[in-house]
Structures are given as C-alpha cells and as structure tokens.
Amino acid sequence: MITEKLQDAINYQINRELFSEYYYLSMASYFNATGLSGFENFFLVQVEEERFHAMKMYRFLNEKGGRVALQAIEAPKTEFKSPQEVFQLAYDHEKLVSGLINDLMDLAISENDHAARNFLNWFVEEQVEEEASMETILNKLKLVNGEGHGLLMLDAELAQRVFTPPAK
C-alpha cells in the first residue's frame, strides 16, 4: 500500500509528465512550421517518451493500491524565436523535471517506501540521459550559431531518432 502523501506526489508527477508531452508537442509543431522535419521528429519522439513516463507512473500507482487522479494540464508555450531557444527551454525543463523526480525520491525515502525508491531509481537515471540529450543538441546549435549548413546537418541527424520503449 502507498501512503496518501506519496500517492498525491506521484499523481502530481503524472501531470508534469503529461505537461511535458504537451510542451514537446508544441515544440514539434514549431519545427514543423519552420520546415525542420528532423527537429520535429526529435520532439515527436520526445512526446512518446513523456507519455511512456506518465504511463509507467500510472501503472506503478495502480499496482501499489493507489488511485490515479488526473489533473488539468496547463497550456504550453507555443511561440518560439529560434531552434536554440527551443532547446534552451527544453534543457531547462528537463532540469526542472529532474528536481521533481529527486523530490519524489526524497519523499519515498522519508516514507520508507522501498518499492517506490526502487521504481524511482529508473527515473533518476533517465533524467541524466534526458538532460544530457538536450544539452548536447543545445551546444551543437550554439556551435553553428543556429543557422546554415550546420543547422541542416543537425536536422538530418535528428531525423534518424526513433522511439524504442525501454524493456524495464
């Protein structure tokens, strides 16, 4: 059984994961409108990842005897100035999510919920990858000044990304 406090915190995180899905879909739409289909693809894959994260938490909460209580999802930002701005925002967002996951882990520790701690370890590791991915692309965009052949080469690279659901 899960404590009400931890249940509420996981419900909040489910909302944050679904907001992330919305946010990245908005970013994908921006790239579609600018003709950068590789960048669009990168964020469409990110959308699938965020949905996967939300559903992983949904299933865990149900398995622990908790109740999922969905909340309203706020509207994401829809206008962006440049690819570099988008990736700066995405990187900042992933750092925020990492903080939220760390807060959840701290709560699981204080609630002495070993199953939740074990479950959340996956997310802690995932956030290292998420932040690194956004930061790497942001740094590449800075190197090419967000324009020219460098931008097009990066677009072609990002077009190759596919979503592969993790085994665990």
Q: Any idea where the domains of the chain sit in the sequence?
A: 4-158
Three-class SS state of 91: helix
pTM: 0.94
Whether the predicted pLDDT of 147 surpasses 90: no
Label residue 168 by pLDDT band (50, 70, 90): low
- CA atoms within a 13 Å half-sphere pointing along the CA-CB vector of 39: 30
Q: Distance between CA 48 and CA 30 in Å, rounded?
A: 17
The CATH H-level (homologous superfamily) assignment of domain 4-158 is Ferritin, core subunit, four-helix bundle (1.20.1260.10)
Burial label, 52 (beta-carbon count in 10 A; 0-12, 13-18, 19+): middle
Q: Residues 62-86: pLDDT tens digits?
A: 999 999 999 999 999 999 999 999 9
Percent of the residues in the chain that have a pLDDT greater than 70, as a whole number = 99
CA distance 12 to 104: 10
State residue 165's pLDDT score: 86
Question: What is the torsional sign of CA 55, 56, 57, 63?
Answer: positive
Query: For the segment 99-145, what is each residue's pLDDT rounded down to a tens digit?
Result: 999 999 999 999 999 999 999 999 999 999 999 999 999 999 999 98
Nearest to 140, CA basis, from 88, 78, 81? 88
**Residue 109: its pLDDT value, please?**
98
| C-alpha to C-alpha distances, 157 to 58, 62, 161, nearest whole angstrom | 33, 39, 8
